Structure 1
Amino acid sequence: MHPLKTQKEPIALAQKVVMIVLGITFFLFAISLMGHAFKLLAAGTARQILEVTANPFISLFIGLLITAIIQSSSSTTSMVVAAVAAGSLSMQNAVPMIMGANIGTTLTSTLVSLGFIAKKKEFKKAIAAGTVHDFFNIMVTLILLPLELYFGVLSSVARSIGELIVPFSGFDSSDSFTYGFWHDLAPVQWVVDTVKHTWIVLIVAFVLLFASIKVLANAIYGLFIGSFRSDFEKILFATPLKAFGWGTLITATVQSSSVTTPLVVPLVATGKISLRKSFPYILGANLGTTFTALLAALFHSNAAISIAMVHVLFNLFGVLLFFPFGAIRKIPIRLARRMGRITSRHRLIGFLYILITFFLLPFALIYFAERQQDTPPPTQQESSLGPAPAAGDISK
């Protein structure tokens, strides 16, 4: 090998690693900035939305919609924990919202997969990698939501754990709530205070978000061209258990599965790893994202700890349902591959899937639920009168 080429390889590797770090940093910055912007834009709307959560299905879609908008299930679940701690949201109403947040956070991976739309073969694999997380969380929700509604499977276990934790936490519900490092960056607040126009902040956040995704995708793609590829696979994806462990650890560290799960999309799309190998990593990332809300809940009451534990248990039960059993584990993978094949032939379906699943359907259900609540029920006098008589039956 040429000595000059040998010298350049470590430099090129370092550059790619720096680009990945910068991409992740700007991604987190953009997510935090977006969350602040939406909070300022629709503070009153958010309060109204929480009032509609008596219907568990509406609560589910509220969690999905909010998370899809702010691109962070950690933020959504942290807000839910705060609302439960404040007593403005009941435990029963909050559980479906936590489930919805788990589905909503998968949007990022699906958006990243659209970046490969120009290359048909890679696009098919990218869509599969982007939607396998969707199908997993949807399937877990379909299993656990009925069990929770009828038997309180998650909430009862979470309450028991909460009662055990509270005596040792040393905090009560009057303590201040913290969202974690990434959700309270000083530069973010500085941008919000300096710009003062919420829509401009929102546009900047969106630009940064998609730019950071592009940087991450390019840097990761370049990283796997060299000899480092085999080492990386050996570390992260050598065995399903290693992939699961690393997914959990990395996501718990950066406090955002919206960052860690999209990382595998370009790897699967370009054939660096298989979808089957990436799935345990995604399961681990799903579990790792619960760390933020759990830490935040330790500063609050039993109810807050319980709802944070619901988030942990939801993802833990999902892992226990799918990870140990190969036949069950193949179901979301097969669904994702089928979605990839369909979308590669009809590319508009990918956009429609995102638009309907993450935005139109939740928004429509929430809207009609609010309309139904705004309609006043008939008074007792009106009910007792019965239907109005026909015109011909009225006596003169």
Structure 2
Amino acid sequence: MTHKELFTLFIVFIALFLFGMTIMRAGLHNLAGDRFKHILEKMTDSPWKGLLLGAGITALLQSSSAVMIMAVGLVAAGILTFKQSIGIILGTNIGTCLTLEMLAFDLSAFIMPLLLIGVFLIFLKNQITYFLGCISFGLGCIFVAMHGLEGLAFPISSLPFAHSFFTWTNNSELFGVGLGTVFSAIIQSSTATTAIAMGFMNDEIFGLTSGIAIMLGANIGTCFSAFLASVGANHSARLVAFAHIWLNLLGVILFFPFIGWLSEVASSLTHLPSLQLAHASTIFNIISSLVLLPFVHWYAKFIIFVHGRKN
């Protein structure tokens, strides 16, 4: 297979992964209707409730970006206050880990049943079955993409340029963070970025510390979606986006010196490389969110101090 064919397939599988995520999220979102927005409005009177709510809705919608964009919109509309949104922000980072934990397992045997069931349900003349079909078909596409990316890991790593690139990633954790940040911002998905790293780890192209560095960077890059959603919105809505950026940025800065420790803990939990990275992501996001939770009031003041009050 030529270099051009390898990278073309790589792009195709990334596109398929994002397509599957989009279809699955659309099915989940429409299946729930506007109930999520109503719940967000009614159950954010304390940071703890906001965290649990943000984690739960993100786990259901399989998209921290979607929940963050929703939170920005609710604050822009004056339905939520900026301080109420912080609990949701903390929860979204935890909720998104469920996807990675699921993707870490080899579920290739379910690909064909999921696709066939999805197609069958989509063509039934019923709104509920249509949305369920979208969920099933989207999940099948995600597993196809994961399987394909894992199969491409070794051929791509054997290319001279790619080999040098992966060597830099393995030799420099800072480079890995930068790579994860840029790639996640471009494709608008921290999940996809980390999932790609999982595929390369399964083929022993990346070590666990490199995968963790990329995962940390992906958490920064995913903030770009909420930032874009806040452009042109009112000042309070922009503060939500800034709070999301600062949360992930500070979390990465604090955890960066402890990548080795995080690697040891994740390695002690399982021998599967992809599952180790999923566990590392879960540990990072849970600790980052829970550490900040008691200081939500002061964190809100910090964001307002740094980015100014409404004029």
List per-residue Cα deviations over 1:172-205 (Å, max 9, x = no partner): xxxxxxxxxxxxxxxxxxxx9x976243233233
- Deviation at residue 282 of structure 1 after TM alignment: 0.9
What is the 5 A alignment of 1:141-160?
Answer: none
- Which residue of 2 is the match for residue 59 of structure 1? 50
- Which residue of 1 is the match for residue 13 of structure 2? 23
- Which residue of 1 is the match for residue 31 of structure 2? 41
In structure 2, relative to structure 1, the CA distance for the partners of 1:106 and 1:210 (3 Å cut) is farther
Letter of the structure 1 residue corresponding to residue 130 of structure 2: I
Aligned pair 1:332/2:265, yes or no?
Answer: no
Aligned pair 1:74/2:94, yes or no?
Answer: no
Residue pair 2:31, 2:131 contacting (<8 A) in 1 also: no
In structure 2, relative to structure 1, the CA distance for the partners of 1:17 and 1:92 (3 Å cut) is same
Indicate the SS of the match to 1:87.
Answer: coil
Distance 2:125 2:14 in 1: 23
In structure 2, relative to structure 1, the CA distance for the partners of 1:222 and 1:77 (3 Å cut) is same
- Deviation at residue 117 of structure 1 after TM alignment: 9.9
What is the 5 A alignment of 1:91-170?
Answer: 91-115=82-106
Structure 2 residues not aligned, in runs of 5+: 110-121, 287-311
In structure 2, relative to structure 1, the CA distance for the partners of 1:196 and 1:313 (3 Å cut) is farther
Indicate the SS of the match to 1:34.
Answer: helix
Residue pair 2:169, 2:210 contacting (<8 A) in 1 also: no
Equivalent residue for 2:233, pick from 295, 300, 314: 300
Distance 1:116 1:30 in 2: 15
Residue pair 1:19, 1:216 contacting (<8 A) in 2 also: no
- Which residue of 1 is the match for residue 205 of structure 2? 272
List per-residue Cα deviations over 1:116-138 (Å, max 9, x = no partner): 799xxxxxxxxxxxxxxxxxxxx
Equivalent residue for 2:248, pick from 283, 305, 315: 315
Distance 2:76 2:125 in 1: 32
- Deviation at residue 47 of structure 1 after TM alignment: 3.3
In structure 2, relative to structure 1, the CA distance for the partners of 1:223 and 1:34 (3 Å cut) is closer
**Which TM-score applies when normalising by structure 2?**
0.74
Distance 1:305 1:46 in 2: 22
Q: Aligned residue pairs: how many?
A: 262
Higher relative contact order (CA 8 A, sep 6+): 1
Indicate the SS of the match to 1:330.
Answer: helix
Residue pair 1:217, 1:263 contacting (<8 A) in 2 also: no
What is the 5 A alignment of 1:172-191?
Answer: none
- Deviation at residue 230 of structure 1 after TM alignment: 1.9
- Deviation at residue 52 of structure 1 after TM alignment: 1.2
Indicate the SS of the match to 1:293.
Answer: helix
- Which residue of 2 is the match for residue 210 of structure 1? 140
Distance 2:108 2:101 in 1: 12
Distance 2:247 2:219 in 1: 10
Residue pair 2:179, 2:217 contacting (<8 A) in 1 also: yes
- Which residue of 1 is the match for residue 172 of structure 2? 239
- Which residue of 1 is the match for residue 298 of structure 2? none
Distance 2:4 2:202 in 1: 23
- Deviation at residue 237 of structure 1 after TM alignment: 4.0
Structure 1 residues not aligned, in runs of 5+: 1-8, 119-191, 359-396
Percent identity, aligned pairs only, is 28
Equivalent residue for 1:290, pick from 223, 226, 229: 223
- Deviation at residue 236 of structure 1 after TM alignment: 4.3
Distance 2:86 2:176 in 1: 28
Max Rg structure: 1
Question: Comparing 59-68 with 313-322, which one deviates more in the overlay?
Answer: 59-68
Residue pair 1:37, 1:199 contacting (<8 A) in 2 also: no
Letter of the structure 2 residue corresponding to residue 205 of structure 1: I
Distance 1:116 1:41 in 2: 24
Distance 1:248 1:195 in 2: 42
Residue pair 1:16, 1:223 contacting (<8 A) in 2 also: no
In structure 2, relative to structure 1, the CA distance for the partners of 1:199 and 1:240 (3 Å cut) is same
In structure 2, relative to structure 1, the CA distance for the partners of 1:213 and 1:291 (3 Å cut) is same
* Cα RMSD, aligned residues only: 3.1
Letter of the structure 2 residue corresponding to residue 277 of structure 1: S
Residue pair 2:154, 2:203 contacting (<8 A) in 1 also: no
Residue pair 1:251, 1:285 contacting (<8 A) in 2 also: yes
Distance 1:273 1:91 in 2: 39
